[in-house]
Amino acid sequence: MKKLSKLLLGTLLTILATIIVAGCTSMNDSETGYQNGYYIAKLNHDFNDVYQATINSISSGITYDENGHAYNLLENSEINNKATITAVNNEDPNDRLEIIIAKISKNNTKIMIKCADHDDSIRSSALLDTINQQL
């Protein structure tokens, strides 16, 4: 009887853990990866919405570095459903954000984020979260 109880408890815990993990992964509305210094995500949103959310998150000052310094838009070009955005830190001109946004289909957009000249997946993913909150 004790073995059966332990087996049943183990099975229930396994099922519960599976449900929790599956729930957490399905809450994210994007597919993400990391390549050549860019944090890359496929968002299930329209290109124009992603583009505007990105511009708004930078120009409103809610995108900032680990010391709380905001970024200024340096480059903002959008041609044929592809946008290139560069922002520079107000306090450190070597600290840049490079963002490329491209339309995949009507409600699918690819965004590529690179922080400064180095791979910074934490800051890139934080920026993606900020953009997602604007959507």
Residue-wise pLDDT tens digits, 60-93: 888 877 788 888 899 999 999 999 999 998 888 8
Q: Domain range for residue 127?
A: 30-134
User: Residues with Cβ < 8 Å from 111, sequence gap 6 or more?
Assistant: 40, 41, 43, 50, 54, 99, 100, 101, 128, 131
User: pTM of the entire structure?
Assistant: 0.73
The per-residue pLDDT of the chain, averaged, comes to 80
| Number of domains, the chain | 1
- Supply the pLDDT for residue 90: 83
Q: Does 16 map to a domain?
A: no
CATH code of the domain in which 125 resides? 3.30.310
